[in-house]
Amino acid sequence: MKVWKVTLRSSNGEKQVFNLIDLQDIVGQYLVFKSEWYNKFLEHLESSYTLLPLTLEEVISPDGVPVLTPQKYASYMFLLYKYMFKRYLPVSYLLRVDEKRNVHLMAVYPKVFAEAIKGNPIIAKTPLETLVTSPEKVKFKQLIIAIPPTPKSGDKND
């Protein structure tokens, strides 16, 4: 299975690396949530969950191409939270937000979750939809969310 390499950095500078499984590799395409879902997701984040923010420092595609680095901004987001999938598992997602605010589901973790998605792609969307449509059903309310740092205005390297 192809993987996306995602590097996160905490406020104290500690780095964590995650290898998420490429959704296109396992189901043939990236799944898309419309902008309405994204708007509702953003509304629910602070009101329904305890957020543990990290910085999304680097994203390397399965082809080895850096799509996000400290010098190269891109609209990616990493989410990690516990979701009931056979048992409570820490489920991770790599999401890309396009210019129309549609959300592209790029990669998932753990491998057992990816294997289940291979047989039924809609399973990939269910935990994300639950965050928006039924936050009361999410037992563990802590979400780790990582976004890239905002580029500095006037910086000619962006």
CB-CB contact of 69 with 61 (8 Å): no
For the stretch 41-76, pLDDT in tens is 998 887 888 888 899 999 999 999 999 887 777 899
Domain boundaries in the chain?
Answer: 3-147
For the stretch 75-118, pLDDT in tens is 999 988 877 655 677 889 999 999 999 999 999 999 988 998 99
Query: 137-151: buried (b, 16+ CB within 10 Å) or exposed (e) per residue?
Result: ebeeeebbbbbbeee
